[in-house]
Amino acid sequence: MKYLYSIFSFLLLLATNLHSEDFDVNSLPKLLGSSNAGTEFYFTFVPGIETSCCDLKLYISCNIRTKVTVEVPSKGYTKTKYTIPNEIIEFTLAPAVGQVYRKIERDIPKRDSVWEKAAVHVIADDPIICYSAKRYQYNGSGFLNLPVDILGNEYLISAYNDPGNNTNMFFPAYAGISAVYDNTEIQFIMGGTENSKTSGGLLPGNDTIYFLNKSDVLLISSLGKLSDLSGSRVISSKPISVVTGNFCAFITDSNSNCDITEEMEIPTYAWGETYHVTPIFGRKKNSIIRIYAKKPMTNIMRDGKYLGTIRTAGGIEGVGYLHLRADEGEPRPIVISGDKPISVTQYNPGTTDDSVTSDPFQMTLLPTELYQREIIFHTPGIRGGYGFPYNYINLCYESDGFGNIPDDIEIAFYNYKDSVFEWHRLKDTLGTQGQPFYKNFGDRQFSFTTFLLPGDGVYKIRAEKPFQAYMYGFSSYDSYGMPASVYLDSVKYNDRPKKPEKNYFEIFPNPATDELTIRTNIGFEQESRIEIFDLLGKLLYSESELFRIRTDKKIDLRSFSSGVYYIQISTGKEVFTEKFFVVR
């Protein structure tokens, strides 16, 4: 096991930075939709088994002081707080507020229904990062919240089957679907297993249509022993958020230790073809995984070798998705890939799986196509508060074939005393070597390493080449798992509110290679300022342009490296901001 305690000491005691390129956060443009940071979130907590000390928590951070309001309209709940730059603040909601209803083990889950104005709505003046967690005694879960700007209109459900006897014990799978806009049509197509059904009577292959307005929640639950919702498709006319999980999952089915599982699903537009499955610290077996396909007849590989074929895009187990242990034998890093876009969900089993004290959790994995070069994240717990005593990071990074940690991978913990992020090379504390994955990226080779975060707080990681960090943790009979950060490309919706036509711009192609085109439909001459920023807010391009109707302005991108950038066009009082990709 490798620890970051020495880095923590450096960050608190050293007065010098290894890097002096941190920028003034107040000079950053307000870039909406950047990564999983955003100004507006809609979601719900799915019902979970409740013990004493029942709290639902929202953990929020921002790099500047900003106003944050959390509301649940139907429950009459509204609370406002202000962030402290690079500190974590928390909101505490009662289960009766954050969930559409509460349930105990012997209660039959309520019939599939739309609950009006029951979504948790978070709105901020400036982009924030938000994580959610259930903090019950002996049971809990956590997930990263996706902002409105990157939500999609198609999802596949990954939950877990009901292990209860369904006579006096019901442990259903849940899907909590929150509407972001009025007049949203949602089609739910049931998957699961051959014997699954929903509490509303839907059987595999059945579908039904629901209509939701902004802040409404559609809650679907399974009903029946070993019934499940996994493989169900959700298709909507407008963006929605989808949180899935299980009331108290036994993973695997024969285990005797259950825990609440909960995760916010990634829309299908962001799925990719290659995923890394990493071992969970301390476990003696590989994790359970479920694999889903965006298109029919998708071939799945494990470490480059054929594993199976998913015959339908969604559907029942064995046909619409695969359920398996990532591999037999000793825990190791594994590559799961498809010849078409797929999604992979990782499940940590309970203690009796290998006699290692550990509670179940569900964690969505991200494709290598979405790996980032810099992330900022924080723990699901505040300094000096009731957090998880053990927060681990599984870091997937690009390196040589031996797993060596490159010199350029750096980590920073926010130094609250001096109000700065202080950067340090990861290898200086962890050593030089991680574990390599199977090589199937041509000249690219990925590896992974695990380390324990030294405490609750705000962190950054950066590298010259893309990486992904997964964060998971444990307390007494309690657990969570989630991506530490997510970067998704925005989806364009015809029904989203458009900017006034006189200031309507579009950019293409996106992704771009050597050239980016800006087009406008304004009906008169308009002097505008064009600026391009990188992820750190560094200004890379600036030029004034006189736009006319159907003007095409071309920008040379040959000096830009592959990555994510933001273009900002200022026209009088209006500001157009969009992210774009450079891919080579």
**Mean pLDDT over all residues of the chain?**
85
Q: Looking at the structure, do residues 474 and 546 belong to the same domain, yes or no?
A: no
358 or 485: whose pLDDT is higher?
Answer: 485
Angle at 413 between CA 410 and CA 418, to 5 degrees: 120
Name the more confident of 495 and 550.
Answer: 550
* Same domain (yes/no): 163, 290: yes
Q: Do residues 383 and 511 both lie within one domain? A: no
Q: Are residues 197 and 262 in the same domain?
A: yes
- 228 burial (CB, 10 Å; 0-12 / 13-18 / 19+) is buried
The answer to whether the CB of 237 falls within 8 A of the CB of 334 is: no
Q: Confirm whether 568 is domain-assigned.
A: yes
Does residue 469 sit in the same domain as residue 574?
Answer: no
**What's the residue count for the chain?**
584
For residue 403, the 8-state DSSP code is: -
Q: Would you state the pLDDT for residue 29?
A: 37
User: Does residue 12 have a pLDDT over 80?
Assistant: no
Last residue of a domain, one of 483, 518, 548: 483
Question: Across-strand partners of 121?
Answer: 42, 71
Final residue of a structural domain among 483, 512, 528: 483
- Assess whether 300 and 344 both reside in one domain: yes
Q: Are 560 and 468 in the same domain?
A: no
On whether residue 490 sits in a domain, the answer given is no
At residue 4, does pLDDT exceed 60? no
Asked whether residue 82 carries a pLDDT value surpassing 90, the answer given is yes
Chain CA centroid to CA 391, Å: 17
Residues 286 and 335 in one domain: yes
SS3 state at 411: strand
Is 416 among the domain residues?
no
DSSP assignment, residue 284? S
> pLDDT per residue over 429-482, tens digit each?
887 778 999 875 566 889 999 999 999 999 999 999 999 999 999 887 788 999
Strand 67-72 versus strand 77-82 pairing type? antiparallel
Q: In terms of domains, do 527 and 470 share one?
A: no
- In the structure encoding, which two tokens stand for residue 310, read together? 């998913």
Q: Say if residue 65 is in the same domain as residue 161.
A: yes
Quote the domain boundaries for residue 508. Answer: 501-582
Q: Examine the fold and report which residue of 449, 483, 517 is the final residue of a domain before the chain moves on.
A: 483
- Report whether pLDDT(155) > 90: yes
pLDDT value of position 493: 34
User: Tell me: the pLDDT tens digits for 289-327?
Assistant: 999 999 999 999 999 999 999 999 999 999 999 999 999
- CATH number reported for the structural domain that contains residue 511 in this entry: 2.60.40.2550
What is the band of 7 on the pLDDT scale with cuts at 50, 70, 90?
A: very low
Residue 453 lies in a domain: no
- 472 and 541 housed in the same domain: no
Q: Region 496-502: what's the mean pLDDT?
A: 38
The number of distinct structural domains making up the chain is 2
Specify if 457 maps to a domain.
Answer: no
pLDDT of residue 508: 85
Residue 342 scores a pLDDT above 90:
yes
Q: What is the pLDDT of residue 431?
A: 76
Residue 326 region by backbone torsions, left for phi larger than 0, else alpha for psi between -120 and 50, else beta: alpha
Whether residue 137 lies inside any domain: the answer is yes
Residue 459 lies inside a defined structural domain of this protein: no
| Residue 449 forms part of a structural domain | no
Reply yes or no on whether the pLDDT at 257 is more than 70. Answer: yes
d(C-alpha 219, C-alpha 47), whole Å: 10
User: Are 507 and 381 found together in one domain?
Assistant: no
